[in-house]
């Protein structure tokens, strides 16, 4: 993805997917904002292993993900296992939407790994942030959607 199209176009595709999928699957309206998530975080990550050599990471307030899961499951509260399961499934749907949108623009078929869930903030090794989109739900929940590219050493090796 990092060379398949302009960064601005990629940001637009990712932003539209985040907003659409979040509202459709969890009934939460996320909008770009400068407010970073708080301290109690969860991270979900995928790696594109075919088509593109990048990864996508969502780092979000646990409270925001819990609210999204409760909305999706039509429950008032959820277990930690439900939170993890929801987060991975939500991210799988989101990344599927992104892969489809990317194919429509680039004609490059993509395949990504199953989502991996982490408590706290997870920073992948060997990668660097190409860009980050920061969101707020308008209440007190925040999220960062991060596009990572392989780190290139000074000598040009990945």
Query: Contact, 71 vs 148, CB < 8 A?
Result: no
Tokens of 28: 């939460």
The three-class DSSP label of residue 135 is: strand
Is residue 81 within 8 Å of 66, Cβ to Cβ?
no
Distance, CA of 150 to CA of 153 (rounded, Å): 10
β 142-150/55-61 pair status: antiparallel
CATH class of 7-150: alpha beta
Encoded tokens for 131: 């860009």
**Strand, coil or helix: what is 158?**
coil
pLDDT digits (tens, 9 = 90+) for 90-132: 999 999 999 999 999 989 888 899 999 999 999 888 899 999 9
Domain residue ranges in the chain: 7-150
pLDDT class of 2 with cuts at 50, 70, 90: very low
Contact 45, 118 (CB under 8 A): yes
**Looking at residue 115, what DSSP letter applies?**
P
Q: Is the pLDDT of residue 158 over 80?
A: no
pLDDT tens for residues 29-62? Answer: 999 988 788 889 999 999 998 878 899 999 999 9
Locate 15 and state its tokens: 């932003």
Distance separating alpha carbons of residues 90 and 131, to the nearest angstrom: 21
């Amino acid at each position: 993805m990092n060379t398949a199209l302009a960064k601005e176009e990629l940001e637009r595709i990712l932003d539209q997917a985040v907003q659409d999928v979040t509202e459709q699957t969890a009934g939460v309206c996320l909008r770009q904002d400068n407010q970073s998530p708080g301290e109690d975080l969860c991270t979900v990550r995928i790696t594109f292993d075919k088509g593109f050599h990048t990864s996508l990471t969502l780092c979000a307030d646990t409270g925001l993900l819990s609210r999204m899961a409760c909305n999706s499951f039509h429950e008032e509260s959820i277990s930690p296992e439900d939170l993890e399961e929801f987060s991975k499934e939500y991210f799988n749907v989101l990344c599927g939407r992104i892969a489809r949108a990317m194919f429509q623009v680039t004609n490059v078929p993509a395949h990504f790994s199953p989502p991996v869930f982490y408590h706290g903030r997870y920073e992948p090794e060997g990668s660097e942030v190409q860009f980050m989109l920061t969101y707020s739900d308008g209440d007190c929940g925040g999220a960062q959607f991060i596009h990572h590219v392989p780190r290139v050493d000074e000598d040009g090796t990945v």
